[in-house]
Structure 1
Amino acid sequence: MKKLLIALLVFGALAAAGGVSLGYLSRREATVPIEKTYGPDPVLVEPKVELVPSVSVAAATPWPAGTMPTAAPGLAVKQFAGDLDHPRWLHVLPNGDVLVAESNAPPQPDPGFSVRAFAAQLIQGRAGARSQSANRISLLRDADGDGVAETKTPFITGLNSPFGMTLLGDKLYVANADAIVAFPYQEGATEIATPAEKIVDLPAGRNHHWTKDVIASLDGSKLYVTVGSNSNVGENGMEEEKGRAAVHEIDLATRQMRQFASGLRNPNGLSWQPDSGELWVAVNERDELGPDLVPDYMTSVKDGAFYGWPYSWYGQHVDERVKPQAPELVARAIKPDYALGPHTASLGLTFNTGDLFGPEMKNGAFVGQHGSWNRIPRSGYKVIFVPFANGKPSGPPWDILTGFLTDDGKALGRPVGVAISRDGALLVADDVGNKVWWVAPAP
């Protein structure tokens, strides 16, 4: 069976390398309309365990010259910056400069064969090869405020698969794949050559999910950092999951780290909700229960809370694949606040704290959906907006930026990190298109 699967994957890889979409390895298609899988109470079907995942990867294809994603009616999009190397995450500095983490997975010690890893290579258009990480944070400067960065300079180099960034006072904190590190920052600087100061180590080694995000507390005394799981549902053993699938809190005075919330399979996109002051996060849920399960989600993160992984999903729905079970944990598993559709790979999350988009969009959430690799039809591949009222989601999502998929199933881009620029526009990192997009109301 394994040899057959590998043969099918190799066939698909060759197809992807030739510029066409990977053929389906399974014809199991979604039965629930995608719009019903969003919101506080998504439609949840009975799980259908897949021995062979329904791989349906959109082969990475460069944006044709002069083309770009499609903005929603009333909005305009332009290229803020291009010629980047897997731009993953964004951070806007107080002076308006934009930091972009150009990053890819770190080297993996004896990763073995997995459908997921093979699909990840196809997603990036590099089947059969391991691409190097740029390990760089670049600075993008739009001096005249026209939505196009005039300069792009290497800001920090020699990092280890950097992802999240946060500025606190005169220190810039960076989440590497294996540690939180800090650098001195002076406003207006275009380069930092000072060696990194390690703050804390993070779970590393074999990284099923390597991206780490970081954000400072509102009072500046703590950092919060995300660490994804090392498996789909604990199949590598729970010893491999120590400190993973969690949000951690770091006390900057003592540099002590404690687990703040757990059971979050692959959390990213930490953001403070402006009305409630609560910490929110976007979470990628588990695979291989069929195309309609399990919805990714965004949720407020409560101190000491458990969100289910790996023992249950979307609250207290027990995952029968996980042995032994932990009924005492399942009994207190919290249902997430808002579903974001199955397999959408919702990674980026930021709240609209600016005024540019108008009062109806104030303090709502922009979400970057990187896109599915195992759903028929495909899901994600877009940026959405979820309206909020009184600190809670208040309606269905709106499509903000689409057009990342071609009619014949190729991926021109895949949105990841989202951020609000100093003037209130939306910035979107596109790690397959190697660009950052700028979105604002049309003139």
Structure 2
Amino acid sequence: MLRVTYLHVLSATAALALPDGFEIHAFASPPDADYPAAITVAPNGDVYVSSDQNGSLGKKPGMGRIIRCRDTDGDGKADEFVRFVPDVDSPRGGHIVGDTLFLIHPPYLSAFRDTDGDGVADEKKQLVSGLGGGIEHPRGADHTTNGVRMGIDGWLYISVGDFGAHPAVGTDGTEVTLHGGGVLRVRPDGSGLEAYSLMVRNICDTAISPTLDLFSRDNTNDGKGWNTRFHHFTALADHGYPRLYQNFADEAVVPLADYGGGSGTGALWLDEPGFPKGLGSALFSCDWTTGNIYHHPVERSGASFKVGQEVFLNLPRAIDIDVDGHSRLYVADWRGGGFNFAGEGKPVGMIQQI
């Protein structure tokens, strides 16, 4: 009874912020799907929840799993929950390509497949190691590597937090060292690992457009002059953290925007004809601190872009956003949670469908 009341009140509050013409409802919630550090949505509408009861600072083994949430009767709510990966430490962002889930679980990027159709992955291939720290790190999986998405070029683009990679190693033995945050990329078989865009603070996710433009909402450095910057990533660009922005700012790539305080989390380039004009080919980002999911109008400006910012939806501790093949958005939040396990019987998180 307590859990039902909790969901009803906060879902209704979130719905008030949506633009006209949109509806939102709970898709999956605790105890079936909890602690969503990220969500990955398949074209058919299956939602893979990276559930991590450690949060960002916990270091206890066996607290992570990937939960596949499926709506079998078409009512817009998940009614089948399977532990696609029953035990994986520090699960973070992923990307579905065909029958493969590419998953960041720092310090690794791995590929998981269900080859016998029982809903549980029985094949795992480790593609990259050395991507930041996991539960063995003094701060757990905080400020580590959090996201991966495939671009139209077939490369996997990896969002690395400010603990960097020391070094990251691909399947062909290629090594890349990154002292700070940035974007790496690698082939789907783990070969060809390389640095793509460098020297940001602590990004969680990267949105990729159909024309291969990359964007991300960064995190602040806690009052030391680097605010919530919005980046356009290009090959081998130096965005200036932690050195250039203070002493040689004219040598660093200028961000598209500086949004003051905040904590960037999920990001998505939406390219869906089923959405209203202005929102169907659009850029979205999430912010934990403000709780907002933002829509960013984008306008080409020279070799880069101008971006705006409008609140699309307000959530308690917005975490992630993704879309399925039927033009349905899914949003995840961390309501009820902190930086560690909240305790038995305390519901944390919500996944909603728009």
Query: Which of these residues, 329, 332, 342, is aligned with residue 260 of structure 2?
Result: 342
| SS of corresponding position for 1:284 | coil
Note closer, same or farther for the CA distance 1:269–1:254 as it changes in structure 2 (3 Å cut). Answer: closer
Note closer, same or farther for the CA distance 1:401–1:186 as it changes in structure 2 (3 Å cut). Answer: farther
Note closer, same or farther for the CA distance 1:102–1:347 as it changes in structure 2 (3 Å cut). Answer: same
Counterpart residue type for residue 270 of structure 1: T
Kept in 1: contact 2:114–2:120 (CA 8 A): no
Quote the offset at 1:370 in angstroms.
0.7
Counterpart residue type for residue 297 of structure 2: P
In the alignment, what sits opposite 2:25?
A: 78
- Residues 75-112 of structure 1, C-alpha deviations (whole Å, 9 max, x = no match): 32211110033102111113221111112558xxxxxx
- Residues 415-441 of structure 1, C-alpha deviations (whole Å, 9 max, x = no match): 1111113221221111234110222xx
- Residues 348-401 of structure 1, C-alpha deviations (whole Å, 9 max, x = no match): 110221233312212111211111xxxxxxxx1121211234597666322222
Kept in 1: contact 2:161–2:181 (CA 8 A): yes
| SS of corresponding position for 1:266 | coil
In the alignment, what sits opposite 1:172?
A: 101
> Is 1:266 aligned to residue 230 of structure 2?
no
In the alignment, what sits opposite 1:156?
A: 85
Query: Which of these residues, 272, 279, 283, is aligned with residue 365 of structure 1?
Result: 283
In the alignment, what sits opposite 1:113?
A: none
| SS of corresponding position for 2:206 | strand
> Is 1:139 aligned to residue 73 of structure 2?
no
Kept in 2: contact 1:243–1:259 (CA 8 A): no
Note closer, same or farther for the CA distance 1:398–1:140 as it changes in structure 2 (3 Å cut). Answer: same
In the alignment, what sits opposite 2:146?
A: 212
> Is 1:90 aligned to residue 35 of structure 2?
no
Take 1:206 and 1:302, find their aligned partners in 2: how far apart are those partners? 32
In the alignment, what sits opposite 2:243?
A: 311
| SS of corresponding position for 1:146 | coil
Query: Which of these residues, 219, 224, 229, is aligned with residue 284 of structure 1?
Result: 219
| SS of corresponding position for 2:278 | helix
Matches within 5 A, 1:315-330: 318=246, 327=248, 330=249
Counterpart residue type for residue 348 of structure 1: G
Tell me which of the two structures has the higher relative contact order, counting C-alpha pairs closer than 8 angstroms and 6 or more residues apart. Answer: 1
Aligned length: 313
Quote the offset at 1:227 in angstroms.
1.6
Counterpart residue type for residue 249 of structure 1: R
Kept in 2: contact 1:347–1:416 (CA 8 A): yes
Gaps of 5+ in 2: 165-176, 336-347
Note closer, same or farther for the CA distance 1:386–1:216 as it changes in structure 2 (3 Å cut). Answer: same
Kept in 2: contact 1:386–1:393 (CA 8 A): no
User: Which is strand-richer, 1 or 2?
Assistant: 2
> Is 1:354 aligned to residue 272 of structure 2?
yes
Give the structure with higher Rg (CA).
Answer: 1
Take 1:151 and 1:180, find their aligned partners in 2: how far apart are those partners? 27
| SS of corresponding position for 2:255 | coil
Gaps of 5+ in 1: 1-60, 107-119, 122-128, 232-240, 320-326, 372-379, 405-412
Quote the offset at 1:179 in angstroms.
0.8
Counterpart residue type for residue 401 of structure 1: L
Q: What's the TM-score, normalizing by structure 1?
A: 0.63
Take 1:187 and 1:418, find their aligned partners in 2: how far apart are those partners? 29
Matches within 5 A, 1:408-423: 413-423=316-326
| SS of corresponding position for 2:67 | strand
Kept in 1: contact 2:132–2:161 (CA 8 A): no
Kept in 1: contact 2:216–2:285 (CA 8 A): no
Take 1:351 and 1:88, find their aligned partners in 2: how far apart are those partners? 19
Note closer, same or farther for the CA distance 1:178–1:397 as it changes in structure 2 (3 Å cut). Answer: same
In the alignment, what sits opposite 1:301?
A: 233
Take 2:106 and 2:62, find their aligned partners in 1: how far apart are those partners? 11
In the alignment, what sits opposite 2:296?
A: 386
Kept in 2: contact 1:203–1:243 (CA 8 A): no
Percentage of matched positions with identical amino acids: 21
> Is 1:436 aligned to residue 354 of structure 2?
no
Take 1:160 and 1:386, find their aligned partners in 2: how far apart are those partners? 33
Deviates further, 300-309 or 64-73: 64-73
- Residues 123-171 of structure 1, C-alpha deviations (whole Å, 9 max, x = no match): xxxxxx8777731111111234433212222111221201111223443
Counterpart residue type for residue 182 of structure 2: A
Kept in 2: contact 1:227–1:243 (CA 8 A): no
In the alignment, what sits opposite 1:255?
A: 191
| SS of corresponding position for 1:269 | coil
